[in-house]
Amino acid sequence: MSDFPAAFRCEWRKTKRSLGLWLVVVGAFFTPAIVTIARLINHAQLPALYAMDSFWSALWKSSWESMAVFFLPMAAILMTGLIGQLEFKNNGWKQVHTLPLGRSTLFFAKLAVILVLMALFLLLFDVGIYLSAIVPWLILHAFAYPQAPLPLDAFSQQTMLYFVDCLPIVAAQYLLSLHFRNFLVPIGTGFMAWVAALAALSWKFGYLVPYAYTLFDYLQGSANARVAAPLIDVHLLAAAYALAFVVGGYVLFIARRQKG
Amino acid sequence: MLSIETHGLSHSYPNSASGLKDIDLAVPQGSIYGFLGPNGAGKSTLLRVLLGLIRRQRGSVSLLGKPFDTQRIAILREVGSLIETPSLYEHLTARENLALLREIYRVPQTWISDTLHLVGLADSADKRVGQFSLGMKQRLGIAIAVLHRPALLILDEPTNGLDPNGTIEMRELLKKLHRERETTILVSSHVLAEMERLITHVGILAGGRLRFQGTLDALRGAEDARCCVTLRTDDDEHAIATIIEEQPNARRHAHGITLPALAHEQMARLNRRLVERGIGVYELGRRERDLEALFMEYIQ
Ligand SMILES: Nc1ncnc2c1ncn2[C@@H]1O[C@H](COP(=O)(O)OP(=O)(O)OP(=O)(O)O)[C@@H](O)[C@H]1O
Ligand SMILES: [Mg+2]
């Protein structure tokens, strides 16, 4: 494991110019960009909006809706799939497995890169939310900077919880994308699991679907939530699922008969 | 010392009757070992097994004097390989493809340019690999295998996709590595002719078994012993009876008689004896060595 930093750097270099990295950047700024454009168009309402006490939390809430329901699960599914697929697509596995590295180092270095990209995705999204508040103000210059204090602590804490919520998706997709040569298998499975999570939302055991936690996290906070209240803390459940999928993925990775 | 040594190595794919059976491979240190066999013989499979990419079912593997099972990482540090199509990240440039390996092997930065130069890709170093031709990809595959200056190179059909000129360059490159870095090279191919001017040792694999293994000279010797002199007379039946007294390995065929290599004076004496017995000799020749024909016999 002392080779881990080198293995991580090696894996990280593979993401340069890759579709997975593009997805992270474009995906993170998509919703904030839409919000910014919408504000510039409806600029008449902005002075009142920017003067509100709840300015930041309202912006946060509305930005996170599409993120928690759609973009975050999709990014986890697609990005993990794209990074895993880099090897199959480029006949890379046989090269990777003849590097002087332990198999666990290989497995965890790649997983670490995916987790870093996922964290980057969330970080860029948060930056994007901030920019979607600042950019209309800078461009229009027709009203004061929001008076409400920016609740940085609360926001970063919530971001971290969302990160935990998407871990089961990342871990399950990682397992699939290491195992199946065909890119469509992990993507298709992931998409179906996400649809299943949506469909099971109001079912009383809906919170047991491992792809549901970003949804639950968001909907739990809303007043008119139609979701069944989970009996167990969803973040804890998410972490437990993630751990189980990582262990499963690791076992399959080690046991694979033909490594490349 | 042997750089590669296997004992009783066996492997078969699930649901497959064929497979590698009892392979005792012995690649001496400092050799260029040509690993030959027809399509589907199991060459790539064996090379994969050597590198731990597929688990063997039976037998032992040692590389560079170390058992593979217990010293995998230490061994792989000194081995470079190219199995079938090269592993290249097409969205990266040639230089970037080598740079990511440099992280692992921890070699000096300058070795990247040196290696690209060595394989003739210096001018395309910063071009994306997705835009490379087949031959350029093959060269980059070699560059990846030799970047860390391994003591042992395992190459599976490295001339795949190279034009005649590229094939010659590849041969010269391998010779150079062998000469200057004392690299032991195991290189597979299905054409003996392409290898003959490169290799020092030969292994012939067919039907999952090693049919021949030894130096190239030993293979040539086997060819000499088999047939080198051809003879045609007006009475082959009597001729063979005469020849066999002195040359028990002589054989009569539909188109004459063949016998092992003979010294010049032996050939002259043979001719004299035949003529003395009234047999008309109208062709007595030395056939050129035909390793390819021998190779074909081994693989059938
Ligand atoms: N992944 C696999 N699963 C099952 N059988 C396989 C697999 N790969 C190869 N085989 C079979 O194993 C045998 C040997 O294949 P291998 O690729 O080792 O041959 P080869 O000697 O390298 O041939 P070539 O000269 O065409 O490269 C073939 O019969 C092939 O069909
Ligand atoms: Mg092959």
- ipTM metric: 0.90
Determine which residue's CA is closest to atom 9 belonging to ligand 1.
Answer: B45
Q: Would you state the pLDDT for residue A228?
A: 67
DSSP A44: G
Which domain, by its residues, includes A35? 4-255
Q: Does A99 touch chain B (CB under 8 A)?
A: yes
**Across residues B9-32, what is the average pLDDT?**
92
Q: Is residue A260 part of a domain?
A: no
First to last CA, chain B: 32
Q: Does B53 touch chain A (CB under 8 A)?
A: yes
Q: Does B81 touch chain A (CB under 8 A)?
A: yes
3-state helix, strand, coil in chain A (%, to 5): 75, 0, 25
Q: Is residue A21 part of a domain?
A: yes
Give the H/E segment covering residue A207. none
Contact B174, B198 (CB under 8 A): yes
pLDDT above 80 (res B166): yes
CA nearest neighbour of B188 among B68, B67, B49, B7: B49
pLDDT above 70 (res B226): no
Task: List CB contacts of B179: < 8 A, sequence separation 6 or more.
Answer: none
Total tally of structural domains belonging to chain A: 1
Q: How confident is the model at residue A223 (pLDDT cuts 50, 70, 90)?
A: low
Q: Is residue A197 part of a domain?
A: yes
User: Of A189-193, B83-87, B109-113, B277-281, where does mean pLDDT reach its minimum?
Assistant: B277-281
Q: Is residue A93 part of a domain?
A: yes
CB-count exposure of residue A229 (10 Å: 0-12, 13-18, 19+): exposed
Q: Is residue A56 part of a domain?
A: yes
DSSP A258: B
Whether B55 and A10 lie within 8 Å, measured CB to CB: no
Instruction: For residue range B88-105, list pLDDT tens digits in order.
Output: 999 999 999 999 999 999
Q: Would you state the pLDDT for residue B205?
A: 94
Q: Is residue A43 part of a domain?
A: yes
pTM for this one? 0.89
Q: How confident is the model at residue A220 (pLDDT cuts 50, 70, 90)?
A: confident
Contact A104, A1 (CB under 8 A): yes
Whether A14 and B92 lie within 8 Å, measured CB to CB: yes
Q: Would you state the pLDDT for residue A72?
A: 96
The whole-angstrom distance between B40's CA and the closest CA on chain A is 17
Q: Would you state the pLDDT for residue A250?
A: 97
**C-alpha B12 to ligand 1 mean position (Å):** 10
Q: Is residue A165 part of a domain?
A: yes
The whole-angstrom distance between B123's CA and the closest CA on chain A is 22
Query: Angle at which helices A55-66 and A19-41 pack, to 10 degrees?
Result: 130
Q: Is residue A229 part of a domain?
A: yes
Q: Would you state the pLDDT for residue B237?
A: 86
